Structure 1
Amino acid sequence: MARLPASVDIDDLIQVGMIGLNEALTRYDPAQGVQFETFASQRIRGAMLDELRDGDWLSRSSRKQQKDIEAAVQRLEQRLQRAPRESEIALELGLSLPEYQEMLGRVRGSQLVYLEDLTGGTEDEPFLDRFLPADEGANPQAQLSVQRMRAALVEGINKLPEREQHVMSMYYEHDMNLKEIAAVLGVTESRVSQLHSQSIARLRARLRAH
C-alpha cells in the first residue's frame, strides 16, 4: 500500500491477488524445486501488476511533462539551496508562467507513486526500489530503508512553500476535495490542481535526491 497512489482500490487489488494465488495453486509443480511460497508470490505480484498496468491512465506525454517538471525542480533546488518559486521553475523550463501553469493543469491527477516505480519503467533504477525492496519484512536493512523514505517524505512536505503545504494537508490529511480547498484558499479549483501537481513534482524530486 505504501507504493500505491490513492486512486487504486485496495479491495479490487486484493481480489486480483487472490486470482493469482488460485492460478499458483493449479500450476505449481514441486518437481521444479521451487518453494510454493516463492512461486505463489511471483504469480500474485504479477497479477497485481497486470491490473495496475491496465489502470495506469495517465498518458505518456503527461508523464513526460511531469518528469520534466521534477527535473527542473531538482536542478533549481541544487543551485538555489531552497524551494524554487513557480516563476523560477517556469523559466528553467523555458516557459512563460501561464504556459507552465497550463502544463501543471495537463498533469492534473499526478501521483507520488507511478506504475513505472513498481515495475522499472524506462529508467535504469526505479527510485522507490532503493527504499522498498520486495521482501521488506525479512530484511532489517529494508526496514531501515522504509524509515528513510518516510523521513525524507516528511522532510520534503515540511519544506514545501506554505500554500502548497496547506493544499497537501487538506487533500491528504483532511480528505477535502479540490472545490473545498479552493474555497478555503480563495482560488479556483484549477489553481488548486496546479498547486497539487507542483507539490508532487517537488516531493518526487526530493525523494530522487535521496
Structure 2
Amino acid sequence: MAAQPLSSPTYTRTGPGAAAAHEALIRDHMPLVRRIAWHVHGSVSSSVEVEDLVQTGLVALVEAAGSFEDRGQVTFAQYLGTRIRGAMIDELRRQATITRGAMRRRREIAEAESALSVQLGRAPTDEELAFQLGVPTERLRQERDAAQPIRFEPIDGVYSDDNPWFMSDDPNPFELLESEDLRQALIEAIGRLSEREAQVIQLYYVEELNLEEIGLVLGVGAARVCQIKKSAHDRLKKALEARIG
C-alpha cells in the first residue's frame, strides 16, 4: 500500500521563529521519508539498500522544505511525496551501473550531505561538504564523478514524455470535466479499467510520474507503460463520448 502523506502545518520562511519552524517541518516529515523508502524498495527489483533511499529522501525533504510555496492547491506533504519518490527513482537509475565500492563512497557522501543539509537548512557547498568529510574539495569532486554510473540508453528511452515523437496529444481527462455529470462518468469509467490501467492513470496524472518512473514502479518497460496508458485513454474517451452522446 502506498505511503499516506501527513498533514502539513503552515509555516513561514522569514520572521521570528522561521528557523525553528523550518527544522520542525523537516523533523515532522522524516517518518514519511522512511515509509516512502520502504514502499519504493518493495515495489522494484533492485540491489539498492533501503537506507540509501532514506538518505536520498532526506536530502529531497530538506530541499522541498526550502522551495515549497503554499498556494492553497496542495499540502506540503503532497508536494513532498512527489519530490521524494522522484528523487528515489532517480537514485535507482543512477545506481544501476555503479560498483559496490563506488556505491559505498556515494553513501558516505550522501550521509554527510544529508547531515549538513539539516544543520545548515540548505544544501551544502562542495567546500563545506569536503571539510565535513576531511578531504580536499577537488578530491571530493573526483570521487563524486567516479561514482557516477555509465549511462546506457535502452530502447524504452524512445518512449519518453520529452520525446516529441511520442509526446501524448491526449488531453488530461481531469481537465475535461466541466460538469458533475462528466466527473461522475469519469469516476465510473476509471472503476471499469483493469487494475494495471488504473495504476498507470493514478501514477501519471495524480502522482505526476513520467513513463520511465511508472515503469520502475510497476516493473515493466516504458514502452509497455505507453501502451497501457493509451489503452486506458481510449477506454476513458469512449466512456465520456458515450455519456456526452
Q: Is the radius of gyration larger for structure 1 or structure 2?
A: 2
TM-score class normalised by the smaller sequence = 0.3 to 0.5
* TM-score for the superposition, normalised by structure 1: 0.33
* TM-score for the superposition, normalised by structure 2: 0.29
